[in-house]
Amino acid sequence: MKLLRLLILFIVFQVSAQQGGMWIPSMLEGKNEKEMQSLGMKMTASDIYNINNSSLKDAVVHFNGGCTSELISSRALLLTNHHCGYGAIQSHSSVAHDYLKDGFWAMTDAEELPNPGMVATLIVRIDDITNRAFEGTSDNMTEKQRLDKIAQNLDKAQKEVVKESWQEVFVKSIYHGNQYLLYVTEVFKDIRLVGAPPSSIGKFGSDTDNWMWPRHTGDFSLFRIYASKDNKPATYSKDNVPYIPKHFLPVSLDGVAENDFTLVFGFPGRTNEYLPSIAVDQLANKLNPARIEVRDVALKIVDSYMRKDQQIKIQYASKYASIANYWKKWIGESQGINKSDAVKIKKKLETDFDKLVAAKGLQNKYGTLLSDFDSMYKEIEAVSLANDYWSEVVNRNVELLSATVMMYQLEQVYEKKGTQAFEEAREKLNKRLEGFYKNYNATVDKAVFEKLIEIYANNIPRTYLSKSLSNVDFKKLTDEIYKKSKLTSYEGVSELLSGSPSDFVKKINKDKGYQLGKELTADFYNNINPKFVKMSEEIATVQKVYMKALLELFPEERIFPDANSTLRVTYGKVSGYQPKDAVYYKPVSYLDGIIEKYVPNDYEFDVPLKLRELYETKDFGQYAENGKIPVAFIGTNHTTGGNSGSPAIDAHGNLIGLNFDRVWEGTMSDLYYDPAISRNIMVDIRYVLFIVDKYAGATRLIDEMKLVHPKKK
Ligand code: ARG
Ligand code: GLU
């Protein structure tokens, strides 16, 4: 007994040393509330989430599915990142009005620009329906029977939910299938662009500074939610009016100091904090390096062409940015995993876990979990690698091959679903390809192909190597395909796509590029993908039990649910960090740093004249602190992709910043949060106000906000 207690004590310590966490807003009472208050928060859990009265959650909005945004005025002014509004800003831009380059500011409501298809989702309520979900399931069911029963239960729960006619509903599981939450939402569909700074502010530092601190990016843009006259969600109409929110965030002019409490409220996408050590090791040291190698080569080639040719630069800028974003993240992640000793720490925890299971006599239930993980991850490694190589090389970085994947899918539609389905799919694909080829350059793609196809052939695990790629002269193969294939231009593709379905099939199968792409893709769908999916499902079943065991064996622990694109609260403090020996990074950056980084006419570090003038004349209005304009700050909030645009909130519930990134050394926080070096990066809200007011002169927007001085009461 004594041994058991000792063990528990020790293991508890190991788990809580991790900190971090993305918590469910409706479940903050108790432990989280106490912890937040001990960090300096002056609010209660019900100030954050309340279904009877307005609360902070009524101001936090899921922005178009992928990002977060927040309401900052009684007229539904909506703040998010520049990189979240990028697509919308781009879609309104032309050579004559280049809003990406020059920025955009609506000086009246009438100038605000509608964005068909864009949605903004508010969370009305979160219900825990776990008991309902498991109703009628039992331990002697097979996993499939159990999952089917749960699916039925969830379906029923959604149909029977109490909600208003204009509201929507969905269910998500947390803790890997051990708990189920139902969300009632309101989805607004008339979202208009209100303002955006030029990219030289909103994307300042671009890829060089991406995932890095010190940072100086003014990564924000402004939108507005419009509703019907009775304040309900409605599709665009010129008669719609600004939505009147239940709550909007007051904006603090008092800024932050080291150790100030911060809360970040948003929609983090995906984390994997409870993977076994073997999986983390595999990801950091096998899968990430493979993906990084592919992108490394592709990015270098594309970059060399972008630097030589303005047209290519425009065509590839957005693709390059998105490929570079995760390339850089994976490098940071793998380094962080190894530097923080995450694998060793997890191994230790697993040894203790097994001991505790034995000490409690739970071997029958939980005794084989870790050895199951071990054998399963060993088994899945080759097919995971194959999956990644195919996804990166065929489906993404070689554009001609990614076009063959689309063609393959179209051919499959015809084969499996017949003519009518084919006609519909063909029309859609045609539109998609038109956009695709606008940004396509065959010379660039050929250079990428030649290098990547060699990496693919040499590195994909041998069992998954397609026939045509063994013993091949890569140079010859490349020349032949890019000389003969019609997939190198939209005209060529249109020709392939035209005619009757059987014409299409005949023509396409004669194309050299398609022949190779089809073989690789068919091998993927027939050999790689089914095995990968099956093994992943088996692993998920073990992960579910492992998660259950952790929750059961450590009931007192702060075990947070992995992110799943639902609304979460994370909290911490404004805090610098030590990235390496003898170096300490302070937590706040200033406009002075922008001037330091300024490189005239550089595509990453140019600074607009107006901003330089404001700096020179110190025309800072009410936004300076000791004569300096703060730009960004970092904190210990645990965030991930999807938290972009999330509000950073002070101890009283005021807006102090806008989340947009993490520091490079700490990006492994999706797998292992290390409080010493994991930091999120936020734009200081005073920089946003300064740009809106002094740079853009959009004072009407400042006037509709509620500016407060919480520290100067
Ligand atoms: N790293 C941030 C995020 O993951 C910002 C990305 C913006 N894109 C860029 N290439 N700078 O979304
Ligand atoms: N930039 C990321 C996003 O778009 C947020 C940074 C992160 O992954 O933490 O969501």
Whether residue 562 has pLDDT greater than 50: yes
Ligand 2 centroid to Cα of residue 643, in Å, is 6
| 400 domain-assigned | yes
H or E stretch at 225? strand 221-227
**Cβ-proximal residues to 400 (8 Å cutoff; 6+ apart), any chain:** 442, 445, 449, 481, 482, 485, 487, 488, 513, 517
| 86 domain-assigned | no
State mean pLDDT over 241-260.
98
**Predicted structure pTM score:** 0.94
- Residue 58, token pair as written in the block: 């009524």
> Beta 221-227 vs 190-196: how paired, if at all?
antiparallel
Write down the pLDDT at residue 308: 92
Ligand 2 centroid to Cα of residue 681, in Å, is 9
Residue whose CA lies nearest to ligand 2 atom number 8: 641
Instruction: Using only the alpha carbons of the chain, give its radius of gyration.
Output: 27
Answer yes or no: is the C-beta of 661 below 6 A from any ligand 2 atom: yes
pLDDT, tens digit, for every residue of 428-444?
Answer: 999 999 999 999 999 99
Write down the pLDDT at residue 23: 98
Kindly state the percentage of the chain with pLDDT values over 70.
97
**Cβ-proximal residues to 11 (8 Å cutoff; 6+ apart), any chain:** 349, 352, 353, 356, 554
Find out whether 563 and 570 touch, Cβ atoms under 8 Å: no
| 149 domain-assigned | no
Instruction: Decide if 219 is catalytic.
Output: yes
CA 146 to chain centre: 31
Instruction: Decide if 176 is catalytic.
Output: no
pLDDT, tens digit, for every residue of 54-101?
Answer: 999 999 999 999 999 999 999 999 999 999 999 899 889 887 889 999
Neighbours of 136 (CB within 10 A): 11
Alpha-carbon span 604 to 343, nearest angstrom: 36
| 265 domain-assigned | no
Answer yes or no: is the C-beta of 250 below 6 A from any ligand 2 atom: no
Label residue 467 exposed, middle or buried (CB < 10 Å: 0-12, 13-18, 19+).
exposed
pLDDT, tens digit, for every residue of 369-407?
Answer: 999 999 999 999 999 999 999 999 999 999 999 999 999
Q: Where are the beta strands (DSSP E) in 253-317?
A: 261-266
Confidence of residue 326 (pLDDT cuts 50, 70, 90): very high
Instruction: Decide if 375 is catalytic.
Output: no
Write down the pLDDT at residue 17: 43
Alpha-carbon span 436 to 448, nearest angstrom: 17
pLDDT, tens digit, for every residue of 616-630?
Answer: 999 999 999 999 999
pLDDT, tens digit, for every residue of 337-374?
Answer: 999 999 999 999 999 999 999 999 999 999 999 999 99
Neighbours of 434 (CB within 10 A): 12
Any idea what DSSP says for residue 574? Answer: B
> Beta 707-708 vs 251-252: how paired, if at all?
parallel
Q: H helices of 21-117, where?
A: 31-38, 45-48, 82-91, 99-102
Full domain range(s) for residue 486 = 277-546
| 316 domain-assigned | yes
Find out whether 311 and 458 touch, Cβ atoms under 8 Å: no
Residue whose CA lies nearest to ligand 1 atom number 3: 661
Whether residue 414 has pLDDT greater than 60: yes
State mean pLDDT over 649-678.
97
| 445 domain-assigned | yes
Ligand 2 centroid to Cα of residue 324, in Å, is 13
- Give the mean pLDDT of the chain: 95
At residue 188's C-alpha, the angle toward residues 183 and 191, to 5°, is 140
| 488 domain-assigned | yes
Ligand 2 centroid to Cα of residue 640, in Å, is 5
Confidence of residue 186 (pLDDT cuts 50, 70, 90): very high
Find out whether 343 and 535 touch, Cβ atoms under 8 Å: no
Q: Where are the beta strands (DSSP E) in 175-289?
A: 179-188, 190-196, 221-227, 241-242, 251-252, 261-266
Write down the pLDDT at residue 48: 98
- Residue 376, token pair as written in the block: 């399963």
State mean pLDDT over 49-53.
97
State mean pLDDT over 632-643.
98
| 451 domain-assigned | yes
Write down the pLDDT at residue 11: 54
Place of tokens 């592709």: 298
What total number of domains does the chain contain? 1
State mean pLDDT over 308-320.
88
Alpha-carbon span 345 to 274, nearest angstrom: 12
- Residue 152, token pair as written in the block: 């039925």
Alpha-carbon span 553 to 546, nearest angstrom: 10
